[in-house]
Structure 1
């Protein structure tokens, strides 16, 4: 069963990417739906399932404004957060289900109380939302547990990321940093794939992409850039209800993403030597290549010219590139039309 130490072992040399599927609020407060997402994510082949742990009274004031007023059943944003809450026993059940499904269980806390709750439930690592990267007291609280901290940076300047990374490392805790742009959905010109190498060079830690484009393309591109971690929001359907649906991939697309990333990893791990590959392809070269062939029946002693010869498959005779060398050579014996000439046929 995967543990936090597995994530801690991520290094710059790793060739296998950790793929996190974020449920966030896609469950819409339904415990049964949250469990259904765990099964779907495991079936898709992702490594980790991630939720968000909201405790309205601990993280928000009743007057918190809506980012987008999307919910007809919640009068206020505060009431929405209340409806997204699960009890501690329910969180334990989700964690157990994730364990049984072979997934790392992650959930982003949004308050000190949520950190305490998740510490009791058990998470494989701390996934820190962009809005909490500057929350140093809570960041220290997480770092003190010695569980790896994965930082999203969707709304954070470099100076703030510097401080966050330094704060985590002050407690000898592993850190990973994800490029992210807080836009739902995020357009391609704001994905920022170039930032991955900047983060890797600056912090010398695992890096990755937390993508909100609602497509699989940025994650596939990031995989070609050796991203250590990929995170995407998931939804059962783009017709479902919720604020993150436009920025999510479907669980079917998640399976395609996982397949694509593993395909890319295999390509990267197996660089090709063209000469060695060509040698391996010799049987196919013989099949698909062209050889020097007679156009018609020719008598012995014929001095060969362009009107006598052409190029046809297969390619196991005199190679096509040698055609100019064959002109003005004499046939030793008569040959029929469509004969692949051999060196022994020529004087």
Structure 2
């Protein structure tokens, strides 16, 4: 079994997907650099997008945001984002070599065919294409697991998507997603994770575009173990997705958080047993009956003479009332604890 599919099947551990999207800005070298960096950061998978302009777009397609002076049209931009088929094989081979899963979202039937030849282990369906049979059907025909984003779908559309997937016997996961770049924190929709899981009884995760680490950490802490975030080397880099991305360092922090949380959850602590184990430490940090002043032989103790002081190895502070009215057998300075033999 492909290592990434094994990780996907293990719902007890978070599977973290780092999406490059267009953050390579058409540079094959940059795409390879992201593979190395994200493998080092501990991400489970790196995800690209496979665009073939002639198969998915036209000159009538407008920019979502007119960010590029280099590209006269959106169609030109998609052309600049294309990699040739041999390059996709190179990227997949590189990912395999460094031990990170390789995924790419296809945006045309031709891209599905290309990626099937390359050998992606699972499919990711973008939010805008969940109802597109021309993409969905050839993906399902491969029998590979599918991860489906919901960023542009309401509940009725999601119902239809899930019904189609289930009727075809597809192995699928759903992603809560908000298709805003970047997504304001108040629009992330963590509440929909629980709703989606209850409604569809399948694996549910978060595909986040906020550019903040907080939504992913919150989702992982709530037990949702499929996370996808955009990745960038630096927030000052060029591209339409950079503002919605996390840095490599932030993704490494997320991986550490997920590992630490899993370790803590795997080792529940018995409160009583731990308190017993820490008995010596409790004595060290506890409080005994001490003095607020130097007392002399023959003094009769009253409450104002006593003070709670460390360590807790002497007469317990809870027993202070038993000492009121006692007569001192000898003098004791205030920087010493009282002992039973100090009294007549």
> TM-score under structure 1 normalisation?
0.92
Distance 1:321-1:141 versus aligned 2 partners, 3 A rule: farther
Which position in structure 1 is the counterpart of 2:129? 132
Matches within 5 A, 1:115-264: 115-264=112-261
Contact 1:10 1:228 in 2 (8 A): no
Q: CA deviation at 1:346?
A: 5.6
Matches within 5 A, 1:5-154: 5-11=5-11, 14=12, 16-154=13-151
After TM superposition, the structure 1 stretch with the greater mean CA deviation from structure 2, 101-110 or 289-298, is: 289-298
Residue number among 297, 300, 318 corresponding to 2:315 in the alignment: 318
1:271-295 residue CA offsets vs partner (Å, 9 max, x unmatched): 3333333333333322222211134
Q: Distance in 2 between matches of 1:345 and 1:202?
A: 72
Q: Distance in 2 between matches of 1:35 and 1:10?
A: 28
> TM-score under structure 2 normalisation?
0.93
Q: Secondary structure at the match of 1:307?
A: helix
1:72-117 residue CA offsets vs partner (Å, 9 max, x unmatched): 1111101111111111111011001111111111111111111111
Contact 1:292 1:311 in 2 (8 A): yes
Which position in structure 1 is the counterpart of 2:332? 336
Residue number among 251, 268, 279 corresponding to 2:265 in the alignment: 268
Distance 1:53-1:334 versus aligned 2 partners, 3 A rule: same
Distance 1:344-1:113 versus aligned 2 partners, 3 A rule: farther
Q: Distance in 1 between matches of 2:76 and 2:126?
A: 21
Q: CA deviation at 1:171?
A: 3.2
Q: Distance in 2 between matches of 1:325 and 1:170?
A: 78
1:233-255 residue CA offsets vs partner (Å, 9 max, x unmatched): 01111111100011011112211
Task: Give the gaps of 5 or more residues in structure 2.
Answer: none
Q: Distance in 2 between matches of 1:7 and 1:261?
A: 14
Q: CA deviation at 1:190?
A: 0.4
Q: Distance in 2 between matches of 1:131 and 1:343?
A: 80
1:135-174 residue CA offsets vs partner (Å, 9 max, x unmatched): 1332122122111111111111112222222222333332
